[in-house]
Amino acid sequence: MARLVVLGGGVAGHTTATFAAKWLGSQHEVVVVTPNAKWNWIPSNIWVGVGQMTKEEVTFDLAPVYAKAGITYHQAKAVSINPEGSDSSEKPFVTIEYTQEGKAGETEVVEYDYLVNATGPKLNFDATPGLGDGNGQLGENTVSVCTADHAVHASHKLAEAVEKMKGGTRQKFLVGTGHGMCTCQGAAFEYIFNIENELRKAGVRDMADVKWISNESFLGDFGMGGLHMKVGGYVVSSKLFAESLYAERSIDWLIGAHTSKVENGKVEYELLDGSKGEEEFDFAMLIPPFAGVGLKAYDKAGEDITGTVFAPNGFMKVDADYTAKPYAEWKASDWPRTYQNPTYSNMFAAGIAFAPPHLISKPMKSPNGTPINPTPPRTGMPSGIIGKAVAHSVCDLMTKGENAHLHEASMAEMGAACVASAGKGVFTGTAAAMTVYPVVPDFEKYPGTGRDTDYTFGEIGLAGHWIKHILHFLFIYKAKLNPGWTLIPE
């Protein structure tokens, strides 16, 4: 019997572990190490953040699901990896530290035959002074929708702001990115339109100033260098699409901005042209930058090999081409296909945890040398697809031997759907539904836009909104491993 250890229980880790457990059966063991007791459908945190859903509607307990699937579950965080074992152990192992009540702080060694690193990101709030609390957590100056608890807190703050407006006090809302190297603009994009919609519903829109602040060099970059999509018979840049949305709803924007400091009611920023400024707010939701979770790696002698296994940003190196080269020489083939670690073939990374070879958006710097550009998104659909491909590969390695064919899932050959809703009512909400194929543009295959415009499209309406609702229920149903779960695509 061999053992697969999966670090992380988010979209990528949960997909890997549950498919591996199904395909391997009782012949092999699947272990999940995740610090969270609950699974969270993160896209719906947006609705929690405006008070349209409860935390309970977007989360569920992991323990009974893993028990049903025959997966060994440790509510713990991984601290380090020893891919060669140690003086006292021939087998590779991970050191974990429990987070569950009653065992918190206890450490344990978990040996593995295969390891999948799907830890997701560290929400690096402290990268921007005042955005974090100095201990790596969300600070008191802004709110967040990155976790269900954060979203609950955000909804309370939003309700307070609405009450103030009803009392006659004008409020300024600032939503976007909290650092020059953030990703996940899509979440902030969806949140600002949900806030705007809630303000209209509450009858206080005329008492609110709503502003977008982002590290994108143009509206609609979304960390993917923007996209050209089919809209109403035209092929248009996402810049036009996004600007139209903001203008229609009277939302101002400040782009190419590195948020350098956050204080109570004020952010300081630097723009791509090198100028600096301040923006005041009463309510701010700023996405933090992501980093690796800080896993360490040691060789058999106990020497630190973190730099061999992980990139400087803390994400795990995989089969990507990490050679430094200028933007003009970037290729779709730079992106990983199997997500296997190049040094240790029994280690893989899935979802946000793998180190991308470079940005997708054009790299930008201010004249002061401050990098201000979105980093590549790897959340949602790509995370699930990569997780499943990695599960396939590991299962084949475990059952067919070391020479088994590895499954591939390059982001340059993979699409993604982004449905950004505004409102939640079945007949009153609308959504911007966008599909991009492929996520990473391939200018050799698709000269011009880098993408297939038959499958890269966007539109606004109830249809996308219904899809958002369906995705919410479908993916939670699937993650709970209810009957027929394997039929639901990632």
User: Interface with other proteins by CB under 8 A: which residues?
Assistant: 240, 243-244, 246-248, 250, 252-253, 381, 385, 388, 409, 413-415, 417, 427, 430, 433, 435, 437, 455, 457, 459-464, 466-467, 489-490
Strand 59-61 versus strand 257-263 pairing type: unpaired
To the nearest whole angstrom, how small is the minimum distance from the Cβ of residue 249 to other proteins? Answer: 8
Q: Which is nearer to other proteins, 195 or 409 (CB)?
A: 409
Q: Are 293 and 196 in contact (CB under 8 A)?
A: no
Q: Which is nearer to other proteins, 63 or 463 (CB)?
A: 463
Q: Are 161 and 207 in contact (CB under 8 A)?
A: no
Q: 387: which 2 tokens?
A: 């997780």
To the nearest whole angstrom, how small is the minimum distance from the Cβ of residue 250 to other proteins? Answer: 5
Q: Give the C-alpha distances (Å, rounded to integers) separating 265 from 138, 206, 262, 289, 435.
A: 15, 20, 8, 20, 36
Q: Are 415 and 385 in contact (CB under 8 A)?
A: no
To the nearest whole angstrom, how small is the minimum distance from the Cβ of residue 461 to other proteins? Answer: 4
To the nearest whole angstrom, how small is the minimum distance from the Cβ of residue 348 to other proteins? Answer: 17
DSSP string, 244-281: HHHHHTT-EEE-SEEEEEEETTEEEEEETTS-EEEEE-
Q: Are 364 and 256 in contact (CB under 8 A)?
A: yes
To the nearest whole angstrom, how small is the minimum distance from the Cβ of residue 23 to other proteins? Answer: 15
Q: Are 262 and 283 in contact (CB under 8 A)?
A: no
Q: How many helices (H) and strands (E) does the chain have?
A: 10, 24
- Under DSSP, the state recorded for 445 is T
Q: 41: which 2 tokens?
A: 């459908």
For the chain, the straight-line distance linking the first and the last C-alpha, in angstroms and rounded, comes to: 29
**For residues 27 and 70, what is the distance between their CA atoms, to the nearest angstrom?**
11
To the nearest whole angstrom, how small is the minimum distance from the Cβ of residue 428 to other proteins? Answer: 8
Q: Which is nearer to other proteins, 240 or 311 (CB)?
A: 240
Q: Which is nearer to other proteins, 443 or 455 (CB)?
A: 455
Q: Which helix (H) or strand (E) holds 432?
A: strand 430-436
Q: Which is nearer to other proteins, 249 or 331 (CB)?
A: 249
Question: Is residue 297 helix, strand or coil?
Answer: strand
List beta partners, residue 143. 285
To the nearest whole angstrom, how small is the minimum distance from the Cβ of residue 395 to other proteins? Answer: 16
Q: Which is nearer to other proteins, 138 or 439 (CB)?
A: 439
Q: Which is nearer to other proteins, 309 or 350 (CB)?
A: 350
To the nearest whole angstrom, how small is the minimum distance from the Cβ of residue 168 to other proteins? Answer: 24
Q: Which is nearer to other proteins, 127 or 436 (CB)?
A: 436
To the nearest whole angstrom, how small is the minimum distance from the Cβ of residue 449 to other proteins? Answer: 16
Q: Which is nearer to other proteins, 136 or 489 (CB)?
A: 489
Residue 192 CA to its chain's centroid (Å): 18
Tell me which residue of 239, 224, 286 sits closest to 258, measured CA to CA. Answer: 286
Q: Which is nearer to other proteins, 116 or 433 (CB)?
A: 433
Q: Give the C-alpha distances (Å, rounded to integers) separating 251 from 8, 99, 169, 211.
A: 37, 41, 19, 6
Q: 256: which 2 tokens?
A: 């190419």
Q: 71: which 2 tokens?
A: 């997966």
Q: 211: which 2 tokens?
A: 């502003």
To the nearest whole angstrom, how small is the minimum distance from the Cβ of residue 418 to other proteins? Answer: 11
